[in-house]
Structure formats: C-alpha cells, structure tokens
Chain A
Amino acid sequence: MSEPRTLLAIDKVSKNFGRVTAVDGISLDIRENEFFALLGPSGCGKTTLLRMLAGFETPNDGRILLDGRDIARTPPNKRPVNLMFQSYALFPHMSVRANVSYGLEMERLPAKEIRSRVDAILATTELVPFADRKPEQLSGGQKQRVALARALVKRPRLLLLDEPLGALDKKLRGAMQLELKRLQHEVGITFVIVTHDQEESLVMADRMAVLKDGKLLQCDTPHAIYEHPADRFVADFIGVMNFVPGKADTDGVVAANGMRISGKVPATLSPGASAMASVRPERIRLFPSGETANRTTGTVEALAYQGLDLQLHVRTPLSPKPFLVRVTADAADRRPVASGDQVELGWDAADVRIFAE
C-alpha cells in the first residue's frame, strides 16, 4: 500500500460561542479515501467541528487545510465538501430526483450530464423506483439514502455525515452501517462521520478521534484505541471496561484490599499516586487453569446470555462495581455457573491498562 496522503488538515482549530469554548485547539489529519469518525459524548464539540468543516461556522483560531489550501473562511457553497444532515434536510417541495439534481444545477452543468449523473447515483443508492416521490412519501431509510445520494452526486472531496444513522431503528442501523461502508468504498470519497455511538464508529471507521469538552483525547484506529486507550475517559467511553481504583507502585496498582493488580505502569505515574487499573471483560478468564498474574475470587450476581457469549456480573473485593466478565458460550457449557456461585477470575498483566485517576 502506498503512503496515505493527507486530504484535510485541521490545524489548532478553536471555536467559542460567547464564553463557551466548543472546540479547543484541535489538530487532526484526515487521509484521502478514509472513513473517519469523530466520536464523543454530546457537547464534546464534534458537531461544531463538523459545521466548521462544512463552512457553517468559522473558527476563531486555526486553519483548515483541504488539499493544502486554507478553507476556514470559504463559504459553504464554495467548498468541495458536502454535508449529510442529521435531519436529512430534504427539500419537501421537490421530488427525490429534483432534490438530487439540485446540487448539480447549482454547478450549471449541462442538463444531459445532470440527468446521467443523477440516474447513476439513484441506481447506486437503489432509489430509482422512488425518483418521482416527495420526501414525505418515503420511509426513514429511504430518506436517508436520498440525503446520501444528494450529497454524493456532487462528487465532493469530503463527505461529512452528522449522526447519519441516529434516526433509524436498531436493526436498520446495523444494515446501514455496512451499506455506508460499502458505498464509501464504491465511490472512493473520504467520509467523516460524527457520532456519539462508540459501537458504530468501531464498526465503520478506519480511524477515529475521541473528543471531550472541545479537546481531542485520542486519534487512532479503532483497534488501537480499544486496546490502548489514552486515558481513563477513553477507556470507559470505548467499549466496556472494569476499573480497580488504588495507588500506583512500580509494578502495578495496589487496590484498597491490599491486593496488587500487576501491569505496566505509565512513566508519568509516580509511585503512591492515585491510579486506576483496568481490564476488558473478554480478557478475564473464569477458573483460569494455568498461571495468571492477577487473580481474585468473587460471587456471581447476574448472568446474561448474549447469543455467542455469556456475560457475568461478579462481585469482587477489588472494586465497588461488580466485574463484568465475558466468556464464550462454549466455555460456559464446559463448566456451568449460576447466580450466587463462587468463581475464580484471572487475567494477564499484559491485558491490564493503568491510568492516572
């Protein structure tokens, strides 16, 4: 694979509304043809950042370089960037075809070219049978595809998607996640998606940025962020994590009950400082057979079958919240456990992540 080329460089961008800082000095590079996710809880600044990329907000500070050219002050109708709105914002007085043609008419393209490009995108998004309908006659999923077609037909350098699946029900959402990914691959356009749903970005994104309070916490591949979260917030926000509070020492964290959780202590953490040791539910083994660096016993409080695997809530002396443990249905069949059972848990030092509290 060739060296990935930077398409969009966000360079120390800040935006405040009155005294509220919505985006605080964020720098990010988005690469050509990647599926990039901006992830964070509501109010983290992801939507403001997206609106600055679209041109609806102007940063107070910093640059936004598209292909090396600063577009921070270019009006929305003059940048090769399109936004798919969360509300879809389809023009209610126009048919599906008129909605999709609108952006090409603005480019003053010949009618013949508009027609053929619109026909092509309607076919790609499977909207041909609905071309003459008005938006009010469409289902949520169909509206979403019209919004997507309307933006894609412009062949933007960058397509922004604001919570694109937020209005769909859970089942349709799962199908559309894959559909979006397929479409992105097919059209070869860089997608930047804004979402508060960490699962969604893990599934769809090539790379993602986690934002909180207007600041960038971490930017990497979903796998890297899941396995090596930059801080406690990211560890908690992405996926499920068990936390053990305690004090750092040279080889791990000493919990309140005196037990040490072994793991690699970050250099920034001095011995004696408050710290959090953490481990993912799927890294914990039930009744570990061999040697494990970390071991504890606990009482099963609840079990939940989730098809392929079984999730246990285990009360341990290590933390005030019960441990979440995920074991495969296979393993659970070999040695069945029930609510109230005493169980032994074990996990390796390599699976422990330690953060400053």
Chain B
Amino acid sequence: MTRTSRSSLLMAPALVWLTALMVVPCALVLALAFFRRGIYGGIEYTFTLENFGLVFDPLYASIFLNSARIAGTATLIAVVIGYAAAYAISAAPRRLQPVFLFFAVLPFWSNYLIRTYAWIVLLNREGLITQLLRWFGYTGEPPSMLYTEGAVIAGLVYNYLPFVILACYAPLSRLNPELAEASRDLGASAITTFRRVILPLTVPGIAAGAVFVFVLSIGNFVTPALLGGGRFQMIGNLVYDQFLTANDWPFGAALAMALIAIMLLVLMAQALAANRASGRTAQAGGDTDG
C-alpha cells in the first residue's frame, strides 16, 4: 500500500462523518435560504433573494451588532481573566501545573445547561448572591442581576474561560524562562518585559482562545435565553425563533448563513494572523538548546 492511499484510508471515516453531518446539512440550510416562506408556514419552492435582504433590515442588523458587542465584551473579559490564569499556572511548580489545568477544565465535565441553570440560582432576586449580601447586613432592595446583559456576558465568560486558559497556557508554558530573564538583565522592567517579550510571543494563543470565545458566543442561544430572559436577543435566539416559533425556515436559514459567514471571516482572519506568527512561536520554545 502506498503512503498516500494509506493516509487517505485513515482519513476516510472523518471525511464521511464531516460530509454527512456538516457539509450536507449546511448545503441544505443554504438551499433553504433561497426559497419563500409559505403563507401558513412551510416552504414554497420558488427562488428568491428576499430572505437575505431582510437580514440587512435595521431591526435584524441591530441584533447582529448587539450579538457582536455582547460576544466581543465576553471575549475581552475571558481573554484578560484567562490569560492571567494561564500565566499563573505556567509560573507554578511543574508538577502542580497539570493539577491546576485539571481544575480549570473541571466545569466541562458537567452539562452546559446545568451549569447555566446554576447561574440562575446564583443571580436570582433571592438567590445566593442576594442572600450573601443579606448575611453581611444588606437590607435594601435585592439587586437585579438575572435577566440583564451583564448576566449573559458573565454566563458566556464562565462557560468559555477554560478554552482561553488552555489556549494561552500552551505558548506560555513553552516559553523559555531565560527570555524574560534576558530582558530584565538588559535593563527592562517587569512590565516592559511582559509587553515586549512575553506578550508578543504568546499572541497566537490569545488569538486562538479569543476566536473560540467569540465564535461560540455570537452564535449562542442557550445562555441568552436562560440568563437574558429573552429580553436580550442574540442571533442564536433569532434563528431559534424563526425555526421553532415563527415557522419561517427560509429566513432562519438566511440568518444562520449570515452567522456562519461572520464566523468564517473571524476564523480566516485568525488563521492568517497565526500563519504570519508561526515562525516566531516555533522559536519561542525551541531555542533552549541553541
């Protein structure tokens, strides 16, 4: 057996799987977007571009922008917290690092819905946080935390933080610690060392983590539905509504396609940036033995 035929044989199951469960459904959804909605729901098989025109309607465009803003805020917060955590883990003694990483990804071992419901228990008007405030002597109105944009952002950050930690930990742990020492030795302060040496060499990890959080957040519909209480519609909720409530599958499909297009653009931008930076990351860890 030749090398290529062997490797294509090994790749076949994954290809079949991806084709059947990704490419075909996506193609179907894409096709759906070009049809008309029936008067009583259902699909009328006549070609139209109306659905895509509607995506750019100010009402829906504002939901896109809103989603991007919420996802962007969640991404920013997750990156700052996650990078700090990854930095701390990579600076911990070698044998403790796997333990800390285990704890960082521990939430993934429970169900996404259950984790999100737990936040309702926390943020409720008479939830754990309010009770904690009362215990400290707070007597005023219970703060309204649930069903706010803040709650949605908190939920997204919480759910996707482990991705950022893992993505940032990889380049940080590979970084030769002598690079930071060399910078200090040459007269740089700790802050300058971070800005000019550590940060540039770990940007690919930050980018990978950020793209992950952004892409997963912008299309998310569970967290906004449960923690936003339906008042803060994101694209995910809108798509969900079109398919399951409004029964307008073609418009839902057009929205989904627009969302996929945004995600692809973000992923492509990241791949391009990573490609440009790949030379220096390969070097960041591999320089230890000259």
Stretch binding the partner chain, chosen from B1-9, B40-48, B207-215, B278-286: B278-286
Residue of A nearest to B188 (CB): A106
CB interface residues, B 263-290, toward A, < 8 Å: 279-280, 282-284, 287-290
CB-based contact B290/A140 at 8 Å: yes
Cβ-neighbour of A56 out of B181, B183, B187 (below 8 A) = B181
B231 at the interface (CB under 8 A from A): no
CB-based contact A154/B186 at 8 Å: yes
Cβ-neighbour of B284 out of A85, A88, A92 (below 8 A) = A92
CB-based contact A91/B182 at 8 Å: yes
CB-based contact B192/A106 at 8 Å: yes
Residues of A within 8 A of B76 (CB): none
Residues of A within 8 A of B282 (CB): 136
CB-based contact A88/B287 at 8 Å: yes
Residue of B nearest to A100 (CB): B186
CB-based contact B179/A89 at 8 Å: yes
Instruction: Give the docked Cα–Cα distance between A92 and B290 (Å).
Output: 11
Residue of A nearest to B285 (CB): A92
Instruction: Give the docked Cα–Cα distance between A107 and B186 (Å).
Output: 9
For B, the interface residue count at a CB cutoff of 8 angstroms equals 26
CB-based contact A87/B279 at 8 Å: no
CB-based contact A167/B290 at 8 Å: yes
For A, the interface residue count at a CB cutoff of 8 angstroms equals 30
Cβ-neighbour of A87 out of B183, B185, B284, B289 (below 8 A) = B289
Cβ-neighbour of A85 out of B182, B188, B280, B283 (below 8 A) = B182
B200 at the interface (CB under 8 A from A): yes
CB-based contact B201/A93 at 8 Å: yes
A62 at the interface (CB under 8 A from B): no
Residue of B nearest to A56 (CB): B181
CB-based contact B184/A77 at 8 Å: yes
Cβ-neighbour of B183 out of A54, A102, A134 (below 8 A) = A102
CB-based contact A89/B189 at 8 Å: no
B178 at the interface (CB under 8 A from A): yes
Instruction: Give the docked Cα–Cα distance between A38 and B156 (Å).
Output: 56
Instruction: Give the docked Cα–Cα distance between A136 and B197 (Å).
Output: 16
B176 at the interface (CB under 8 A from A): yes
Residues of A within 8 A of B186 (CB): 77, 82, 102-103, 106, 150-151, 154
A76 at the interface (CB under 8 A from B): yes
Instruction: Give the docked Cα–Cα distance between A140 and B200 (Å).
Output: 24
List the interface of chain B (C-beta within 8 A of A).
176, 178-179, 181-189, 192, 196-197, 200-201, 279-280, 282-284, 287-290
List the interface of chain A (C-beta within 8 A of B).
54-56, 75-77, 82-83, 85, 87-93, 102-103, 106-107, 134-136, 140, 143-144, 150-151, 154, 167
User: Ordered nearest first, which 3 A-B pairs have the shortest CB separation?
Assistant: A92-B283, A106-B187, A103-B186
